[in-house]
Amino acid sequence: MRAQRLWEITRDSGDSYLWDVLAKYFEPKAPFQRKEKEWLPNLSFVRAVWQDAGARDPKFGTKLADAFNFEDEESAAADVLGEIMAATGPSPSLVPKHLHAGHRKKNRRIEALIRKFKVGFAAEADFVLAWARHALRFKDKPALLEVARSQSIGLLRPSIAGLVLFNAACRGGVRTS
C-alpha cells in the first residue's frame, strides 16, 4: 500500500524499490479468496512498475494477467500476455493463457493466434483445450470440425472431446462411428 502511494505521488514506475516490493509481495487473489475489506492494489500501478522497473518479467506478468482476469478486465490481461509473448516468444503454457484471457468475445486477434500456433502446439494439451473451448464457446463450425478430425482430440478430457464431437456432428461434418 505504501509503495502504491509513493507511486501515486511520484509517478516514477522505474523506481527499483517499487519493483522490489511488488516482486516480493504481489499475489493476485480471486474475489472469493479475499478477506473482507482487504486492500487491493491498483493494477495500473502494478502494470506500470512491471513494465518499467520489472523488465517485463514473464512470471510476474502472468500473475498480473491473472489479477486482471480476477477483476474481469480480460482485455488488459490479454494485453499483458501479449507483451510477455512479444518479449519472450510464445510458449505452450503462455499461448493458452492468452487464448483464455480473450475468451469472452470472439475477436480476430484470438483466432489469429489459434491459426498461428495450432500446428506447432497441436501436441500440447493446454493449447488444444483452449482451442476446443474457444470453438465450443462460439459454436465455430470449421474450428469444431478441425479439432474433431485432428489427432489432437485425444489430448482432451473425455467430456470436452465428447462436446467437440457432438457439436461437430450436429453441424454436419463428423462421423462418430
pTM of the model: 0.76
Neighbouring C-alpha atoms within 13 Å toward the C-beta of 146: 17
C-alpha cell at 161: 472431446
Query: CA–CA distance from 37 to each of 31, 40, 89 (Å)?
Result: 11, 9, 38
Residue range 32-88, pLDDT digits in tens: 888 888 778 899 999 999 999 877 788 999 999 999 999 989 889 988 988 998 888
Identify the band that residue 174 occupies on the pLDDT scale cut at 50, 70 and 90. Answer: low
Tell me the percentage of the chain whose pLDDT exceeds 70: 93
